[in-house]
Structure 1
Amino acid sequence: MLHILFIILKILGILLLVILGLLFLCLMAVLFVPIRYRGNGSYHSIKDFCVHLHIHWLLHAVSLRIAYENGLRYTVKLFGFRIFGSESEEKDTESRSVREGTQAADSDELEFVNAQEKTEDDDLDTGELILRAEAASEKTDAAIEKAEETARLLEEAVKRRSAQREAEMSQAVKNADAFPDVKEAGVSEAEGKTHRAKNELKSNPSQEKRESFLHRIISWFKQKWSALRQSLSKLLTRINNLEHKRQSVLAFIENEENQKSFRLIKRQLMRVLRHIFPRKLSGQVTFGVEDPYLMGQILSVAAFLYPVYGKKIDLTPVMDANALDGELSFRGRVQIGVLALMALRIWMDKNVRTQVYKYRNRGGR
C-alpha cells in the first residue's frame, strides 16, 4: 500500500516539476526573447504618404502588422492564424469586383422597376382619380369646420377673460378708495404709516427720484466693494498656496538624496531610449521653410541630433521654399527583461521607494 502511495506521489512530483519548468521557460522567453520590429514609410504630400510596421515575437508565433495607405489596416496573428484585424486587401478586391457586378445588376433592375411603376401609374383610370379627389375635398372641408369651431371657442374664452380682468380692476379701485379709512376697518397703525409715507412721496416725485437714485448708487458701490474684497482674498489665498508649493518643490529638488535619485532615473531612461532605438536606420529627407530664422533653428536642432542619426539619414535642406519629402526605413528589437532590469534598478533605490510611499499616503497629490 505504501509502495503504491509513493509511486503516486512520485508521479505528482514529476508532473509538478514539469509544469514549473514550462512556466519557467515561458517566463524566460517573455523576458529574454526579443520583440523585433521593422517598418518603412514615405511622405510626398498630404494625400501621398504611407506607413508600414511589422512587429513579431518568438519566430513569428505572435505577429502584428499595421499599415496606413489610403486607410488604416492591421492584422494580429497567432502561430500564423489570423485572430482579429481589419479586412485584407484580397477581400477588399473581391468585394470591389462583387460590388461592381451588383451595381450593374441593380441598375438594370432599377430601370425595370421604374418602367413597371410608370406603366402601373398610367393604368389608373379616371374614375379612381375622381374618387380620390372627392375624398381629399371632404377631408379639407372637415378640417376647415374644425378650424372655425376652434377659433370661435378661443374668441369666447378671450371675452370671458377680459370681463374677469375688468371686474378685478374695478374691485381693486374700490379697495384703493376705501384705504384711508383703514383705522375704522381695523387695519394696523404701521400700515397706515406706510400709506401716508407713500402719499407724501407721491406728492413730491422729485424727492422720490433722488432717494431712489442715491439708493441705487449706494447699493452698486456696496456690491462692487464686496466683490472686490472677495476677489482680493481669493487672489491672496492663491498666491500663498503657490508660494508654499514653490518652496516645497524647491526643497524637494535641492535635496541631495532626491538629486541622486534624479541622476539614477536619468541614466536608466537614457539606457531605455538607446535600447529601443532602431539598430538599423536609413532614409533621405528633403525639407525647407520660407522663414530663414525658423530654418536656422531647425538646422541647429538637426546638428544637435546628428549623433543620433549620423550618416544613416540623408538630410537635404531647401532654402526659400516650403517643402517636405522623404522616405525612411528602420529595424530594431526590444527585450522585456532589459526594461524590467532597468525598472528594478530604479525601484531598488531607497529614496525612490520612500517618495512613492509618501505620494500614495498623500492620496496621489
Structure 2
Amino acid sequence: MLHILWLILKFILIILGILLGLLLLAVLLVLFCPVRYKASAVKTEGAWNQIEGEGVVSWLFHGVSLKAEWKDRQMEMSFHLFGIPVDKLLKKRQKKKSDSENTKNTKNTSKKSKSGTKNSRSQAVNSKNEEHESEVKLLNDSADQGVNSTENHTKINENEESIRQDQHKPDNESENTETVTNENKIQPEDTASEEVSEQKTFFIKRIYDRIRNIFKGIRTKLQNIRRTLKKVKNNLSWWKSFLEHPRVKAARTLVWKHAKFLLKHIFPTKIEGQVAFSFEDPALTGTALAVLGMTIPFHKNCVQINPRFDGENYLQGNIRAKGRIYGFVFLRAALIIYFDKNIKYVIKRWKTRRA
C-alpha cells in the first residue's frame, strides 16, 4: 500500500516539476528572447499617394510573426504561428460555416414551400365553410331586425310624451337664478377699494422680494468665487512645494533617465536608405531640409537626403529599418523605479493629498 502511495506522489511531483520547468522556460523566453521588427518603405515615380510599405514583427526566432503590407492603397495582414498561416485557416473555417448555413437555409425554404401548398388547400376549404356560415347568419339577422323595429317604435312614442310634459312646467327655476345674479351684482364701494389696495400692496411686496432675492444671489455667487479662488491658491501652493521638494526632484530625474534609456532601446538599431524630394516653393524645400537635419542623431546620417530645387513636387526613395526589444530591460527599469525610496515618498505624499 505504501509503495502505491509513493508511486502516486512521485507521479504528481514529476508533473509539477514539468509544469514549473515549462513556466520558467516561458518566463526566460519572454525576458531574454527579443521581439524583432523590420520595416521598409519605397516610393517610385508617380503620385504622392503611390507609396509601398511593409512591416514585420517576429518573436521566438520567427516562430510567431505578424506581417503588414501596404500596396495599391490597401492594407494586408497575415499572422503565422511556426509557419502555419492562422488567418487563412480561420477564413477557410468561416467559409465552410457560411456554406453549411446556406445549404440549411435552402432546405428550410423548400420545406416551407411544400407546407405552403398544403396550407393553401386547407384555406380554400375553410373559405367555403365560412361563406356558408355567413349566409345562415344573414337569414337570422333579417328575422331579428323585424322584432327590433317594433321595439324602437314604442320607445320613440314614449320620448315624445316626456317632451310634451316638460314644456308645460312653470318657469320658477329661471326666475330664481335671475334674482341671485342681481344680488351678486350689487356690491358696496368699500369692498372694491379694499381689493384695489390689497392688490397694490401684494404687487409692491412681490417686487421687493424679487429685488432681495437678486441681491442674495449675487452675494452667494461672490462668496463662491472667493472660495474657488482660495482653493486654487492652496492647490498652487501645494503643487509648488511638492514639485520643488528635493526628493520629488530626484524621483523625477530617475524616471526621466530610465525613460530615455528605454526609448533608445526601442529605436531601430540599423537604418539605411536615400530620399530625394522637392516642392514648388524652394523655401518649403529649405525648411523641410532643416527639419530632416534634426533627425540625424536618430539615424546617425545613414539616410542620404538629396534636396532638389527644381520648382516642382517630387518625392522618390526608399528607407529600411530594423531593431529588437528585450523584455528584461523593461523589467529592470520597473524594479529600479518601484523600489526607489524617492518614488515611494512621492506615492505616499500623493495618497495623503488625495485622502
Match of 2:194 in 1: 193
Q: Secondary structure at the match of 2:66?
A: strand
Q: 1:349 to 1:58 in 2, by over 3 A?
A: same
- The 1:290–1:256 alpha-carbon spacing in structure 2 relative to 1, beyond 3 Å, is farther
Alignment partner, residue 58 of structure 1: 60
Distance 1:86 1:238 in 2: 62
Match of residue 319 from structure 2:
328
Q: Name the structure 2 match of 1:249.
A: 239
Query: How many angstroms does 1:332 deviate by?
Result: 0.9
**Normalised TM-score (structure 1):** 0.57
The 3-state SS of whatever aligns with 1:331 is strand
Q: Whole-Å Cα distance in 1 between the matches of residues 254 and 20 of structure 2?
A: 35
Deviations 1:232-280 (A, max 9, x none): 5454444333332322222222111111111111111111111111111
Matches within 5 A, 1:1-365: 1-42=1-42, 45=47, 47-69=49-71, 70-84=73-87, 181=187, 193-195=194-196, 223=214, 232-285=222-275, 286=277, 290=281, 292=283, 300-317=290-307, 323=313, 325=315, 326-359=317-350
Is the contact made by 1:73 and 1:85 (CA closer than 8 Å) also made in structure 2? no
Contact 1:75 1:86 in 2 (8 A): no
CA distance in 2, matches of 1:322, 1:176: 102
Closer, same or farther in 2 for the Cα pair 1:74/1:244, shift >3 Å?
farther
- Partners of 2:310 and 2:269 in 1: CA distance: 35
- Judged with a 3 Å threshold, the aligned counterparts in structure 2 of structure 1 residues 197 and 229 are, in CA distance, closer, same or farther, namely closer
Q: Which ranges of structure 1 fall in alignment gaps of 5 or more residues?
A: 89-173, 201-210
Q: Which residue number in structure 1 is paired with residue 167 of structure 2?
A: none
Structure 1 letter corresponding to 2:326: Q
The CA distance in 1 between the partners of 2:55 and 2:310, in whole Å, is 34
Q: Cα distance 1:251–1:297, how it changes in 2: closer, same or farther (>3 A)?
A: farther
Q: Say which SS state the counterpart of residue 60 (structure 1) adopts.
A: coil
- List per-residue Cα deviations over 1:152-183 (Å, max 9, x = no partner): xxxxxxxxxxxxxxxxxxxxxx9899567179
The one-letter code of the counterpart of 1:10 is: K
- Report the TM-score when normalising by structure 2: 0.58
Counterpart contact for 1:73–1:87, Cα < 8 Å? no
| RMSD (Å) for aligned C-alpha atoms | 4.4
Q: Is the 8 A contact 1:257 1:351 kept in 2?
A: yes
- Deviation of residue 74 (structure 1)? 1.9
Question: What is the SS of the residue equivalent to 2:29?
Answer: helix
Largest Rg, 1 or 2: 2
Over 3 Å counting, the alpha-carbon distance change for 1:234 and 1:290 in structure 2 is farther
- Residue deviations 1:196-234, cap 9 Å, x none? 677x9xxxxxxxxxx99xx79x969985x6676565545
Find the aligned partners of 1:263 and 1:310 in 2 and give their Cα distance.
26
Identity level (%): 24
8 Å CA contact 1:290–1:320 kept in 2: the answer is no
